[in-house]
Structure 1
């Protein structure tokens, strides 16, 4: 279903929502993606197997890349970034890839990927970079704890996310650049762990990334939560064989953002239909009273719902 043209009321609502965001999300202004130098990482061959020895070798290479970036940050005088990278380079951390440049790219595994029967790939939204990575990590750990044995969670920070406040978070430019990388990673994962059930969990602007990557991906579920829209008018418009599911928490400010589009010269602002709206046609799950950053909060209704989807034991209702 095509989105309605913007009315003057919708324009005013968008301005109101942006003011709300500026109050609710002050940390977004702290992002400084280009401020800290980092070395170019070594080229990696595709992960052809999830054999434990192959994974151990890949994880060791990831730690070396993180330590190299840590050392460069320390020489640059950025103690904050150096301290964060020191934590990320610990022996218990397992990164399939790491690139510290331009805000950072990384793929971290939580759980035993070699034995995983179900895998959740977390695709974060705006404002997540190396300086704000803890939010993504905490969510991955909470989800793994809810899923239990036989599961793995992958935190895929495979693109430069847009700032929460700024024009890049209102257009699909960053998502268009991220989508081919997400497709490549999911295909690599399918080769390495062919028997695992894979679900994409797409938060906020990450739902735009997943929508751009959806066509042709061999995944069981595409789960959209805290979504500003996908750029598609319906789940069918994603052209995927996966089950498309959507949830919106009762305390999520993104519900106040106009779910429509505004065509401008050379760019379209906004992402159209709310994925939880009846006309979108997704399977809607119970997200409880989640706030925008609280969908994977331990003990929450939304976390239980999302874990049930990943485990293949939850349906949801058709909107």
Structure 2
């Protein structure tokens, strides 16, 4: 009777144990998230009333300075109307956040205060920009806590220098960090068509500009869903839980795919993989900074999960250089970078 060599049996046993351990971890995360839903839902009010936004012409036809100023003014009026409605509803946190966003110096390409909020804010002179970075955020990003997202976009714009613009695209209903939604691609599938449409219009309106897509955390799942054929030069994944694909080529993009993770980022502890349950798939596949994924790795230094756009950081400098089309990136001299793939 034929038998497996002892080494093969040991390897098979190890693989089986590892797979079961990953599945148990994913299931534990799903159960924990399910229990936490009432708490996280209470902390993220999405039912604050807001007016229906004004109809706007397609962006591709209106990227002149005068047309953009008109568009910014229309959206500013919409933000102020939403602020009044939130205050009347008694939600002073939302009203205060909107009051800051309605500052005349702010530039919003779009605004919709309903269902937690959708925005696209410009940092820099979009009409004249030759390098444009579109930021896609991860979980727990919404109107109530928009300041951090906006501050990161502003820091990236300063780092990119003259001739650049950054668009902070909060164009989808982000999942709560502790929730079942953050473990599945459902929100990303909802968001991808809108991101594809937005980036397509932006690229058509600025054909001479280099457009890059920078995707943080769960935002990398959104970008992966939108990636096929998207007219961008770079697709940058940072602090990513995975993309739903096991290799960069599966994203079906002509863009250069980059990946980076800071040494202090807790996302390194997530169980990279997928678990197919009867009605849903949990997890997002292979770690994007693994050599097997095939992305080009950039040094993210010692960044924590929410610190990639911190002024003065290695991660911010490298994200700015990638979006600017530079090939010479910074190295973390402290030796705190992570990533198993080839260095840029």
Would you call these one fold, judging by a TM-score over 0.5?
yes
Aligned to 1:220: 233
Residue 227 of structure 1 aligns to a residue whose secondary structure is coil
C-alpha deviation, 1:74, in angstroms: 1.0
Rate the CA distance shift 1:50–1:85 in 2: closer, same or farther, 3 A.
Answer: same
Matches within 5 A, 1:51-62: 51-62=64-75
Aligned to 1:318: 342
Matches within 5 A, 1:285-296: 285-296=298-309
Match of 1:32 among 35, 38, 44: 44
C-alpha deviation, 1:193, in angstroms: 1.3
- Equivalent pair of 2:30/2:180 in contact (CA under 8 Å): no
Aligned to 2:62: 49
User: In 2, distance between residues paired with 1:133 and 1:119?
Assistant: 21
Match of 1:252 among 257, 265, 269: 265
Rate the CA distance shift 1:190–1:51 in 2: closer, same or farther, 3 A.
Answer: same
C-alpha deviation, 1:240, in angstroms: 0.3
User: In 1, distance between residues paired with 2:148 and 2:31?
Assistant: 23
Residue 146 of structure 2 aligns to a residue whose secondary structure is helix
- 2:20 counterpart of 1:8: yes
Structure 2 unaligned runs (5+)? 1-14, 34-38, 330-340
C-alpha deviation, 1:135, in angstroms: 1.4
Which of 74-83 and 56-65 deviates more? 74-83
C-alpha deviation, 1:87, in angstroms: 0.8
Aligned to 1:270: 283
- Equivalent pair of 1:49/1:193 in contact (CA under 8 Å): no
Aligned to 2:7: none
Match of 1:155 among 158, 164, 168: 168
- Equivalent pair of 2:26/2:275 in contact (CA under 8 Å): no
Instruction: Select the structure of larger CA radius of gyration.
Output: 2
C-alpha deviation, 1:111, in angstroms: 0.5
Rate the CA distance shift 1:166–1:299 in 2: closer, same or farther, 3 A.
Answer: same
Which of 300-309 and 40-49 deviates more? 40-49
C-alpha deviation, 1:50, in angstroms: 1.6
C-alpha deviation, 1:310, in angstroms: 0.6
C-alpha deviation, 1:274, in angstroms: 0.6
- Equivalent pair of 1:31/1:131 in contact (CA under 8 Å): no
Which of 308-317 and 42-51 deviates more? 308-317
Aligned residues: 312
User: Normalising to structure 1: TM-score of the pair?
Assistant: 0.92
User: Over aligned residues, Cα RMSD in angstroms?
Assistant: 2.2
Structure 1 unaligned runs (5+)? 22-26
- How big is each residue's C-alpha offset from its partner over 1:265-311, in whole Å with a ceiling of 9 and x where there is no partner? 12100000011111110000000011000001000010111111011
Matches within 5 A, 1:121-136: 121-136=134-149
Residue 318 of structure 1 aligns to a residue whose secondary structure is coil
Residue 314 of structure 1 aligns to a residue whose secondary structure is coil
User: In 2, distance between residues paired with 1:12 and 1:249?
Assistant: 26
- Equivalent pair of 2:97/2:145 in contact (CA under 8 Å): no
Q: Which has the higher contact order (CA 8 A, sep 6+)?
A: 1
User: In 2, distance between residues paired with 1:261 and 1:16?
Assistant: 14
- 2:199 counterpart of 1:175: no
